[in-house]
A and B are shown apart, each in its own frame.
Chain A
Amino acid sequence: MSKPIVATTSLAGCFGCHMSLLDIDERILELFQLVEFNKSPIDDIKTFTKQCDIGLIEGGCCNSENIHVLKDFRKNCKIIVSVGECAIMGGLPALRNGIPVKECLAEAYLDGPTVGNNTEGILPNNEELPMILDRVYPCHEVVKVDYHLPGCPPRADLIWEALVALVTGNELKLPYEVVKFD
Protein backbone atom coordinates (compact mmCIF):
# COMPACT_ATOMS: atom_id res chain seq x y z
CA MET A 1 0.00 0.00 0.00
CA SER A 2 1.34 3.41 -0.90
CA LYS A 3 2.05 5.93 1.78
CA PRO A 4 -0.09 9.03 2.26
CA ILE A 5 1.38 12.01 0.47
CA VAL A 6 2.00 15.29 2.24
CA ALA A 7 2.63 18.72 0.75
CA THR A 8 3.59 21.84 2.68
CA THR A 9 4.03 25.50 1.95
CA SER A 10 4.64 28.79 3.63
CA LEU A 11 2.49 31.71 2.44
CA ALA A 12 2.68 34.97 4.42
CA GLY A 13 4.53 33.25 7.22
CA CYS A 14 8.02 33.21 8.67
CA PHE A 15 8.80 29.52 8.17
CA GLY A 16 8.61 29.17 11.93
CA CYS A 17 5.89 26.56 11.57
CA HIS A 18 8.12 24.54 9.25
CA MET A 19 10.89 24.90 11.83
CA SER A 20 8.49 23.57 14.41
CA LEU A 21 7.76 20.62 12.12
CA LEU A 22 11.46 19.89 12.10
CA ASP A 23 11.38 20.20 15.88
CA ILE A 24 9.79 16.77 16.13
CA ASP A 25 13.44 15.68 16.36
CA GLU A 26 14.15 12.00 15.77
CA ARG A 27 10.50 11.38 15.00
CA ILE A 28 11.23 12.87 11.60
CA LEU A 29 12.62 9.44 10.64
CA GLU A 30 9.38 7.86 11.72
CA LEU A 31 7.51 10.50 9.74
CA PHE A 32 9.32 9.54 6.56
CA GLN A 33 8.29 5.96 7.23
CA LEU A 34 4.69 7.09 7.54
CA VAL A 35 4.34 9.53 4.68
CA GLU A 36 5.79 10.59 1.39
CA PHE A 37 6.42 14.31 0.75
CA ASN A 38 5.53 15.99 -2.48
CA LYS A 39 5.53 19.77 -3.08
CA SER A 40 7.30 21.09 -0.01
CA PRO A 41 10.41 23.03 1.04
CA ILE A 42 11.36 19.93 2.96
CA ASP A 43 12.24 18.01 -0.21
CA ASP A 44 12.42 21.08 -2.45
CA ILE A 45 9.80 19.82 -4.90
CA LYS A 46 8.55 23.07 -6.42
CA THR A 47 5.33 21.96 -8.12
CA PHE A 48 2.80 19.25 -7.49
CA THR A 49 3.78 16.09 -9.29
CA LYS A 50 0.82 14.09 -8.00
CA GLN A 51 -2.39 14.35 -6.03
CA CYS A 52 -1.70 14.62 -2.30
CA ASP A 53 -3.60 13.55 0.76
CA ILE A 54 -2.61 16.28 3.16
CA GLY A 55 -1.58 19.87 2.54
CA LEU A 56 -0.07 21.78 5.44
CA ILE A 57 -0.37 25.53 5.03
CA GLU A 58 1.75 27.93 6.98
CA GLY A 59 0.98 31.65 6.76
CA GLY A 60 -2.01 33.66 5.68
CA CYS A 61 -2.59 35.37 2.36
CA CYS A 62 -1.10 38.81 1.87
CA ASN A 63 -0.64 38.83 -1.92
CA SER A 64 -1.96 37.32 -5.12
CA GLU A 65 0.72 34.65 -5.22
CA ASN A 66 -0.38 33.36 -1.81
CA ILE A 67 -3.89 33.07 -3.19
CA HIS A 68 -2.73 31.10 -6.24
CA VAL A 69 -0.59 28.74 -4.16
CA LEU A 70 -3.38 28.21 -1.65
CA LYS A 71 -5.91 27.48 -4.37
CA ASP A 72 -3.40 25.12 -5.97
CA PHE A 73 -3.09 23.29 -2.69
CA ARG A 74 -6.83 23.08 -2.32
CA LYS A 75 -7.03 21.58 -5.79
CA ASN A 76 -4.23 19.07 -5.24
CA CYS A 77 -4.80 17.99 -1.62
CA LYS A 78 -7.66 16.03 -0.14
CA ILE A 79 -7.20 17.59 3.26
CA ILE A 80 -5.99 21.08 3.96
CA VAL A 81 -4.62 21.99 7.37
CA SER A 82 -3.99 25.56 8.50
CA VAL A 83 -0.85 25.39 10.57
CA GLY A 84 -0.15 28.26 12.94
CA GLU A 85 -1.65 31.63 13.81
CA CYS A 86 -0.88 33.28 10.47
CA ALA A 87 -2.75 30.65 8.49
CA ILE A 88 -5.58 30.67 11.01
CA MET A 89 -6.06 34.38 11.62
CA GLY A 90 -3.46 36.25 9.61
CA GLY A 91 -1.02 36.41 12.48
CA LEU A 92 1.49 39.21 12.81
CA PRO A 93 1.36 40.17 9.11
CA ALA A 94 -2.33 40.95 9.75
CA LEU A 95 -1.32 43.75 12.11
CA ARG A 96 -1.58 45.84 8.97
CA ASN A 97 -5.26 44.94 8.58
CA GLY A 98 -7.36 47.97 9.28
CA ILE A 99 -4.68 50.25 7.86
CA PRO A 100 -5.36 51.15 4.20
CA VAL A 101 -2.96 49.30 1.89
CA LYS A 102 -1.89 52.64 0.39
CA GLU A 103 -0.59 53.77 3.74
CA CYS A 104 1.24 50.47 4.20
CA LEU A 105 2.94 50.80 0.82
CA ALA A 106 3.82 54.43 1.47
CA GLU A 107 5.32 53.49 4.81
CA ALA A 108 7.32 50.66 3.24
CA TYR A 109 8.62 52.41 0.13
CA LEU A 110 8.31 56.15 0.61
CA ASP A 111 7.98 57.49 4.14
CA GLY A 112 9.23 54.86 6.56
CA PRO A 113 12.38 55.48 8.60
CA THR A 114 14.11 52.54 6.92
CA VAL A 115 13.48 53.74 3.38
CA GLY A 116 16.83 54.35 1.77
CA ASN A 117 17.48 56.31 -1.34
CA ASN A 118 14.10 56.36 -3.04
CA THR A 119 14.20 60.02 -4.01
CA GLU A 120 12.16 59.37 -7.14
CA GLY A 121 9.42 57.81 -5.10
CA ILE A 122 9.37 54.55 -7.03
CA LEU A 123 6.77 52.00 -6.00
CA PRO A 124 7.39 48.42 -7.13
CA ASN A 125 4.91 47.69 -9.90
CA ASN A 126 6.56 45.20 -12.21
CA GLU A 127 3.98 42.78 -13.44
CA GLU A 128 6.19 39.87 -12.36
CA LEU A 129 5.60 40.85 -8.75
CA PRO A 130 2.71 39.48 -6.78
CA MET A 131 -0.06 42.00 -6.19
CA ILE A 132 -0.63 43.11 -2.61
CA LEU A 133 -4.05 42.34 -1.13
CA ASP A 134 -6.09 44.96 0.71
CA ARG A 135 -5.52 43.01 3.91
CA VAL A 136 -4.09 39.73 5.08
CA TYR A 137 -6.65 36.93 4.83
CA PRO A 138 -6.83 33.85 7.01
CA CYS A 139 -6.66 30.79 4.73
CA HIS A 140 -10.17 29.59 5.52
CA GLU A 141 -11.52 32.97 4.42
CA VAL A 142 -10.22 32.13 0.93
CA VAL A 143 -10.65 28.37 0.52
CA LYS A 144 -12.17 25.61 2.58
CA VAL A 145 -9.78 24.47 5.31
CA ASP A 146 -10.38 21.15 7.02
CA TYR A 147 -8.33 21.42 10.19
CA HIS A 148 -6.58 24.12 12.20
CA LEU A 149 -3.50 23.76 14.37
CA PRO A 150 -3.00 26.90 16.44
CA GLY A 151 0.26 28.19 17.84
CA CYS A 152 3.03 30.59 16.98
CA PRO A 153 4.43 28.24 16.06
CA PRO A 154 2.25 25.23 16.83
CA ARG A 155 4.17 22.98 19.22
CA ALA A 156 6.10 20.21 17.47
CA ASP A 157 4.07 17.72 19.46
CA LEU A 158 0.86 19.17 18.15
CA ILE A 159 1.98 18.92 14.53
CA TRP A 160 3.25 15.40 15.11
CA GLU A 161 0.16 14.15 16.91
CA ALA A 162 -2.15 15.74 14.38
CA LEU A 163 -0.27 14.28 11.42
CA VAL A 164 -0.21 10.83 12.95
CA ALA A 165 -3.91 11.03 13.71
CA LEU A 166 -4.68 12.13 10.16
CA VAL A 167 -2.55 9.42 8.61
CA THR A 168 -3.61 6.59 10.89
CA GLY A 169 -7.21 7.72 11.34
CA ASN A 170 -6.82 7.42 15.09
CA GLU A 171 -8.60 9.84 17.38
CA LEU A 172 -6.55 12.91 18.22
CA LYS A 173 -6.12 13.27 21.96
CA LEU A 174 -4.17 16.33 22.90
CA PRO A 175 -2.67 17.17 26.26
CA TYR A 176 -3.61 20.67 27.47
CA GLU A 177 -0.10 22.06 27.09
CA VAL A 178 0.20 21.51 23.35
CA VAL A 179 -2.59 23.73 22.08
CA LYS A 180 -1.47 27.32 22.55
CA PHE A 181 -1.88 30.52 20.58
CA ASP A 182 1.66 31.81 21.13
Chain B
Amino acid sequence: MSEKIKFTIDGKQCLAKKGQNVLDAALENGVYIPFLCHVKGVKQAGSCRICNVKVAGRTMTACTTPVAPGMEVENDIPELHDLRLAIIEALFVEGNHFCPSCEKSGNCELQALAYRYQMMVPRFPYSFPQKEIDASNSKILIDRNRCVLCKRCIRSFQDDQGRNLFAFKSRGHKVEINIDKECAVNLSDELAQEIMDVCPVGALIRKEKGFNEPIGTRKYDKKPIGSEITSVV
Protein backbone atom coordinates (compact mmCIF):
# COMPACT_ATOMS: atom_id res chain seq x y z
CA MET B 1 0.00 0.00 0.00
CA SER B 2 1.56 3.26 -1.09
CA GLU B 3 1.34 6.19 1.26
CA LYS B 4 -0.85 9.11 0.29
CA ILE B 5 0.18 12.72 0.52
CA LYS B 6 -2.18 15.17 2.19
CA PHE B 7 -2.65 18.58 0.65
CA THR B 8 -5.42 21.14 0.17
CA ILE B 9 -6.97 22.96 -2.75
CA ASP B 10 -8.89 26.09 -1.78
CA GLY B 11 -9.06 24.63 1.71
CA LYS B 12 -10.47 21.27 0.65
CA GLN B 13 -8.56 18.28 2.01
CA CYS B 14 -7.11 16.16 -0.79
CA LEU B 15 -4.96 13.09 -1.12
CA ALA B 16 -2.34 12.43 -3.77
CA LYS B 17 -0.10 9.57 -4.74
CA LYS B 18 3.62 10.12 -4.34
CA GLY B 19 5.03 11.96 -7.32
CA GLN B 20 1.60 12.85 -8.69
CA ASN B 21 1.16 16.28 -10.18
CA VAL B 22 -1.30 18.77 -8.73
CA LEU B 23 -3.58 18.67 -11.77
CA ASP B 24 -4.09 14.90 -11.89
CA ALA B 25 -4.44 14.77 -8.12
CA ALA B 26 -7.02 17.57 -8.16
CA LEU B 27 -9.12 15.83 -10.79
CA GLU B 28 -9.04 12.61 -8.78
CA ASN B 29 -10.14 14.52 -5.70
CA GLY B 30 -13.13 16.04 -7.43
CA VAL B 31 -11.58 19.45 -7.95
CA TYR B 32 -11.59 20.83 -11.45
CA ILE B 33 -8.55 22.80 -12.51
CA PRO B 34 -9.01 23.91 -16.11
CA PHE B 35 -6.39 22.88 -18.65
CA LEU B 36 -5.88 22.67 -22.37
CA CYS B 37 -2.50 21.10 -23.13
CA HIS B 38 -2.56 18.32 -20.56
CA VAL B 39 -3.28 14.74 -21.58
CA LYS B 40 -3.36 12.19 -18.83
CA GLY B 41 -0.49 9.74 -19.04
CA VAL B 42 1.45 11.81 -21.56
CA LYS B 43 4.51 13.88 -20.64
CA GLN B 44 3.36 17.31 -19.50
CA ALA B 45 3.99 20.30 -21.72
CA GLY B 46 3.12 23.06 -19.29
CA SER B 47 2.60 25.25 -22.31
CA CYS B 48 -1.01 26.46 -22.29
CA ARG B 49 -0.55 27.92 -18.79
CA ILE B 50 -4.29 27.66 -18.13
CA CYS B 51 -3.84 25.29 -15.19
CA ASN B 52 -1.78 27.91 -13.36
CA VAL B 53 -2.52 27.72 -9.64
CA LYS B 54 -1.03 29.53 -6.69
CA VAL B 55 1.13 27.88 -4.07
CA ALA B 56 2.63 30.00 -1.31
CA GLY B 57 1.93 33.12 -3.33
CA ARG B 58 3.67 31.86 -6.43
CA THR B 59 1.95 30.97 -9.66
CA MET B 60 2.80 27.58 -11.14
CA THR B 61 1.24 25.20 -13.59
CA ALA B 62 -0.62 22.42 -11.80
CA CYS B 63 0.30 19.88 -14.49
CA THR B 64 4.05 20.25 -13.89
CA THR B 65 4.05 20.69 -10.14
CA PRO B 66 4.32 17.56 -8.00
CA VAL B 67 2.17 17.52 -4.90
CA ALA B 68 4.18 18.12 -1.74
CA PRO B 69 2.95 17.19 1.72
CA GLY B 70 0.87 19.94 3.29
CA MET B 71 0.85 21.98 0.09
CA GLU B 72 -1.87 24.64 0.08
CA VAL B 73 -3.07 25.18 -3.47
CA GLU B 74 -5.23 28.12 -4.50
CA ASN B 75 -7.31 27.43 -7.57
CA ASP B 76 -10.73 29.02 -7.75
CA ILE B 77 -9.80 32.63 -7.01
CA PRO B 78 -10.64 35.79 -8.97
CA GLU B 79 -7.03 36.54 -9.92
CA LEU B 80 -6.59 33.13 -11.55
CA HIS B 81 -10.04 33.29 -13.09
CA ASP B 82 -9.06 36.43 -14.94
CA LEU B 83 -5.64 35.07 -15.88
CA ARG B 84 -7.18 31.94 -17.36
CA LEU B 85 -9.80 33.92 -19.21
CA ALA B 86 -7.09 36.20 -20.60
CA ILE B 87 -5.14 33.19 -21.88
CA ILE B 88 -8.28 31.73 -23.48
CA GLU B 89 -9.00 35.07 -25.10
CA ALA B 90 -5.42 35.39 -26.30
CA LEU B 91 -5.80 32.02 -28.02
CA PHE B 92 -9.00 33.13 -29.72
CA VAL B 93 -7.46 36.29 -31.18
CA GLU B 94 -4.14 34.63 -32.00
CA GLY B 95 -5.71 32.18 -34.43
CA ASN B 96 -8.73 32.17 -36.70
CA HIS B 97 -11.44 30.46 -34.70
CA PHE B 98 -14.59 30.44 -36.79
CA CYS B 99 -16.69 28.31 -34.50
CA PRO B 100 -19.81 28.27 -36.68
CA SER B 101 -17.98 26.48 -39.49
CA CYS B 102 -15.75 24.20 -37.45
CA GLU B 103 -16.15 20.42 -37.34
CA LYS B 104 -15.06 20.40 -33.71
CA SER B 105 -17.58 23.00 -32.52
CA GLY B 106 -19.47 21.64 -29.55
CA ASN B 107 -16.69 19.17 -28.83
CA CYS B 108 -13.88 21.72 -28.77
CA GLU B 109 -12.07 22.17 -25.47
CA LEU B 110 -10.98 25.73 -26.21
CA GLN B 111 -14.56 26.71 -26.99
CA ALA B 112 -15.77 24.83 -23.93
CA LEU B 113 -13.32 26.70 -21.72
CA ALA B 114 -14.55 29.97 -23.20
CA TYR B 115 -18.11 28.90 -22.33
CA ARG B 116 -17.13 27.93 -18.83
CA TYR B 117 -15.30 31.19 -18.29
CA GLN B 118 -18.11 33.13 -19.97
CA MET B 119 -16.08 34.79 -22.68
CA MET B 120 -18.45 37.10 -24.55
CA VAL B 121 -15.75 38.90 -26.49
CA PRO B 122 -11.97 38.78 -26.12
CA ARG B 123 -10.35 41.80 -24.46
CA PHE B 124 -7.69 41.75 -27.21
CA PRO B 125 -8.11 42.81 -30.83
CA TYR B 126 -8.32 39.98 -33.36
CA SER B 127 -5.16 39.44 -35.36
CA PHE B 128 -6.59 37.43 -38.29
CA PRO B 129 -3.26 35.81 -39.16
CA GLN B 130 -2.75 34.09 -42.47
CA LYS B 131 -2.25 30.37 -41.86
CA GLU B 132 -1.76 27.53 -44.25
CA ILE B 133 -3.89 24.43 -44.33
CA ASP B 134 -2.05 21.18 -44.98
CA ALA B 135 -4.24 18.59 -46.68
CA SER B 136 -1.38 16.48 -48.02
CA ASN B 137 -1.85 13.59 -45.61
CA SER B 138 -4.37 11.03 -46.82
CA LYS B 139 -6.20 10.74 -43.51
CA ILE B 140 -5.59 13.90 -41.50
CA LEU B 141 -6.16 17.51 -42.44
CA ILE B 142 -4.20 20.13 -40.54
CA ASP B 143 -6.01 23.42 -40.19
CA ARG B 144 -3.45 25.70 -38.58
CA ASN B 145 -6.03 28.48 -38.26
CA ARG B 146 -7.47 26.56 -35.35
CA CYS B 147 -4.29 25.19 -33.80
CA VAL B 148 -3.56 26.27 -30.22
CA LEU B 149 -0.02 24.82 -30.29
CA CYS B 150 -0.63 22.69 -27.20
CA LYS B 151 1.73 19.99 -28.45
CA ARG B 152 -0.69 17.23 -27.49
CA CYS B 153 -0.14 15.61 -30.89
CA ILE B 154 3.64 16.03 -30.70
CA ARG B 155 3.76 14.31 -27.35
CA SER B 156 1.23 11.60 -28.05
CA PHE B 157 2.24 10.02 -31.35
CA GLN B 158 5.43 8.21 -32.31
CA ASP B 159 5.96 5.53 -34.94
CA ASP B 160 7.30 2.05 -34.16
CA GLN B 161 10.85 3.39 -34.31
CA GLY B 162 10.08 6.10 -31.79
CA ARG B 163 10.09 8.88 -34.35
CA ASN B 164 7.70 11.78 -33.83
CA LEU B 165 4.75 12.06 -36.18
CA PHE B 166 4.27 15.72 -35.37
CA ALA B 167 6.65 18.55 -34.57
CA PHE B 168 6.84 22.30 -34.29
CA LYS B 169 8.31 24.49 -36.95
CA SER B 170 9.84 27.93 -36.32
CA ARG B 171 9.53 29.81 -33.04
CA GLY B 172 7.62 32.56 -31.25
CA HIS B 173 4.33 33.63 -32.79
CA LYS B 174 5.42 31.99 -36.04
CA VAL B 175 5.37 28.51 -34.51
CA GLU B 176 3.23 26.00 -36.38
CA ILE B 177 2.49 22.32 -36.26
CA ASN B 178 3.64 19.90 -38.93
CA ILE B 179 2.96 16.27 -39.72
CA ASP B 180 5.75 14.02 -40.97
CA LYS B 181 5.39 13.03 -44.58
CA GLU B 182 7.16 9.70 -44.16
CA CYS B 183 6.31 8.50 -40.66
CA ALA B 184 2.64 9.44 -41.00
CA VAL B 185 2.18 8.17 -44.54
CA ASN B 186 0.01 5.15 -43.82
CA LEU B 187 -2.18 6.07 -40.88
CA SER B 188 -4.88 3.59 -39.99
CA ASP B 189 -8.42 4.88 -39.56
CA GLU B 190 -8.18 4.09 -35.86
CA LEU B 191 -5.00 6.10 -35.42
CA ALA B 192 -6.42 8.97 -37.45
CA GLN B 193 -9.41 9.00 -35.11
CA GLU B 194 -7.11 8.95 -32.08
CA ILE B 195 -5.19 11.90 -33.49
CA MET B 196 -8.37 13.87 -34.04
CA ASP B 197 -9.57 13.01 -30.54
CA VAL B 198 -6.30 14.09 -28.90
CA CYS B 199 -6.48 17.49 -30.56
CA PRO B 200 -8.44 19.75 -28.18
CA VAL B 201 -9.58 21.94 -31.07
CA GLY B 202 -10.36 21.45 -34.75
CA ALA B 203 -6.79 21.66 -36.01
CA LEU B 204 -6.42 17.94 -36.70
CA ILE B 205 -9.45 16.70 -38.55
CA ARG B 206 -10.09 13.25 -39.95
CA LYS B 207 -10.77 13.66 -43.61
CA GLU B 208 -14.32 12.95 -44.76
CA LYS B 209 -15.54 12.95 -41.17
CA GLY B 210 -17.03 15.64 -39.01
CA PHE B 211 -20.36 17.34 -38.42
CA ASN B 212 -21.62 13.91 -37.41
CA GLU B 213 -23.41 14.96 -34.28
CA PRO B 214 -26.34 17.36 -34.38
CA ILE B 215 -26.23 20.53 -32.31
CA GLY B 216 -27.63 19.80 -28.89
CA THR B 217 -26.06 16.38 -28.49
CA ARG B 218 -22.41 17.31 -28.58
CA LYS B 219 -20.09 17.05 -25.63
CA TYR B 220 -20.30 20.60 -24.34
CA ASP B 221 -23.72 21.66 -25.62
CA LYS B 222 -25.52 21.10 -22.34
CA LYS B 223 -22.83 20.77 -19.71
CA PRO B 224 -19.71 22.82 -19.10
CA ILE B 225 -16.28 21.29 -19.45
CA GLY B 226 -15.18 19.91 -16.12
CA SER B 227 -18.71 19.71 -14.78
CA GLU B 228 -18.26 15.98 -14.33
CA ILE B 229 -15.66 16.98 -11.75
CA THR B 230 -16.88 20.24 -10.22
CA SER B 231 -20.00 22.08 -11.23
CA VAL B 232 -19.89 25.74 -12.08
CA VAL B 233 -21.28 27.88 -9.32
Contacts and interface: CB of A to CB of B under 8 A. Distances in A.
Contacts of B102: 182
A110 interface: no
Interface string B91-108: 010001011111001100
A179 B126 contact: no
B222 A177 contact: yes
B120 A176 contact: no
A94 interface: yes
B148 interface: no
Contact of B118 (A82, A92, A99, A179): A179
A182 B224 contact: no
Contacts of B125: 141
Given A176-B222, A176-B223, A92 B120 contact: no
B222 A92 contact: no
A152 B100 contact: yes
B168 interface: no
Interface residues of A, number: 28
B121 interface: yes
Given A140-B121, A179-B118, A181-B114, A89 B126 contact: yes
Nearest to B221: A177
Given A97-B128, A135-B128, A150-B120, A92 B224 contact: no
Contacts of A138: 121, 126
Interface of A: 82, 85, 88-92, 94-95, 97-99, 135, 138, 140-141, 145, 147-150, 152, 176-177, 179-182
Interface of B: 92, 96, 98-102, 105-106, 111, 114-115, 118, 120-121, 125-126, 128-131, 215, 221-224, 232
- Which 9 residue pairs across A and B have the least CB separation, nearest first? A152-B100, A181-B99, A97-B128, A98-B130, A148-B121, A148-B120, A182-B105, A182-B100, A182-B99
Given A88-B121, A89-B126, A98-B128, 7 more contacts: A85-B98, A95-B101, A140-B121, A152-B100, A176-B115, A181-B99, A181-B105
